[in-house]
A = this chain, B = another copy of it.
Amino acid sequence: MIADFVVSPKTEAEVIEILKVCYEHNVPVTTRGAGTGNYGQAMPLAGGCVMHMDKMAAVKQIAPGRVVVEPGCLLKDLDAATKADSGQEIRMFSSTWATATIGGFIAGGSGGVGSCTWGSLRDLGNIIRLRVVTMEAEPRVLEFRGEELARVSHAYGTNGIITEIEIPLAPAYDWVDLFLTTEDFMDAARFAEELGNEDGILIKLATVFEAPIAKDYFQRVAPHVDSGDNLIGLMVAPQSMEGFLTFLDRRPEAKLIYRSDASDWDRTPGLVFEYGWNHTTLRALKFDPSITYLQVRYGFPQHLELIEKMRTSLSPEVLQHLEVLRENGKVMFAGLSLVKFTTEERLDEIVKMHEDAGAMIFNPHRYTLEEGGRQSVDDQQLAFKREADPKGLLNPGKMIAWDDPDWKYAEMYAYPKMQAAE
């Protein structure tokens, strides 16, 4: 699973040239942003060419509420440019903000910090336009808007190379990072949900960590908490801090232990969002390599009930890590639960318990489109792949439906290529 050669196009014209040559010689092409895709989406399963996007990183145009950017730009660099230009920033980003690219986020991510306000990347309005090059004898350059965006966003680079991105911007504020603790876990979950429902308080992140995640896995936070403390991590707009403190006063069950604008901690904990989303698992793994995680959807309006149920049945084998997320206008939770791995059978059992209760699971242990994030074949993406990558050379092995059109979610664990790859 290593590439035969690596290229770094500097322009769209060079992307076209590379695809043309690879098409002619039947060479697979795997596009790579920063390679943080944690389902292994940018692994060149079939060898061939790895196309690095790092030289296509220009911020091309900034206007009120929108930006046009090349795919290789780091999320962090993009925010710096839009902030310097006009006090703006991207609506949402993966917790890999410091290292990941905007192209990789759009082709491989789903949401993250900011999704408590703006929903997910796939929601209407969170991507304005994508420019895409196809993998054909004569590669075409296409511009997608509206419904067509779904063809290539979150398609893992399997059906076209994104060369330009237009996305909306939100105002950039000096977000205040906060940590709070509660003794009772459900108090923490309710606190986060209720804050998410405060229409006048602007937040960018609301994360809940069951005890003893903070004590055991968060080195810089550990000195300030006990093993029994559940932790809440927040990003609040400075102009909303007065409102937030009033909200907090009404909830004596929550204790504020850290605010970045007035901290007395010896060592700064760093950015709060680098504890959330997939960074929680990353931190836990450093202390306990037997840990894995599940990606759970706790949908409105059963979310709190489902969370309580799963926790009652499974804690501490499964520790709750929750992210406030908006879906269809409602505050609910994404769960990125930490699981102490024992056997495949037990993991399957845990997955089944969630699904039986009504909590949908996105299996993070798989790196294909269908297994990782979607659970079903995306007909639109598949149809577009037929047209845009007729030889199936783009990121081969990542779209099961391409290799096996009859694939069904129920057979997920049975797909032989996947099992071999694990």
Contact = CB atoms under 8 A, between A and B. Distances in A.
Contacts of A147: 246, 249
Interface string A126-137: 101100000000
A171 B171 contact: yes
B329 A117 contact: no
Contact of A197 (B65, B66, B328): B328
Contacts of A87: 64, 86-87
Contacts of A117: 199
B171 A170 contact: yes
Interface size class of A (residues with CB under 8 A): 35 or more
A197 B124 CA distance: 11
Given A65-B173, A169-B239, A171-B65, A200 B145 contact: no
8 contacts: A64-B87, A87-B87, A119-B198, A125-B202, A125-B243, A128-B242, A146-B246, A199-B327
B65 A200 contact: no
A242 B129 CA distance: 9
A328 B129 CA distance: 33
Nearest to A170: B171
Interface string A146-175: 110000000000000000000011111110
A240 interface: yes
Contacts of A199: 117-120, 123, 326-329
A124 B248 CA distance: 11
Please give the count of copies of this chain that the complex contains.
2
A248 to B, nearest CB: 10
A201 B65 contact: no
A176 to B, nearest CB: 12
A318 B240 CA distance: 40
A171 B239 contact: no
B200 A119 contact: yes
A196 interface: yes
Given A64-B171, A146-B242, A125 B201 contact: yes
A78 to B, nearest CB: 16
B197 A244 contact: no
A267 to B, nearest CB: 28
Contacts of A246: 124, 145-147
Given A64-B174, A124-B198, A196-B329, 8 more contacts: A64-B87, A64-B239, A65-B237, A119-B198, A123-B200, A125-B239, A128-B239, A146-B246
Nearest to A129: B242
A245 interface: yes
A123 to B, nearest CB: 4
B247 A124 contact: yes
Contacts of A129: 242
A330 interface: yes
Contacts of A128: 239, 242-243
Given A239-B66, A249-B147, A331-B329, A244 B125 contact: yes
B329 A125 contact: no
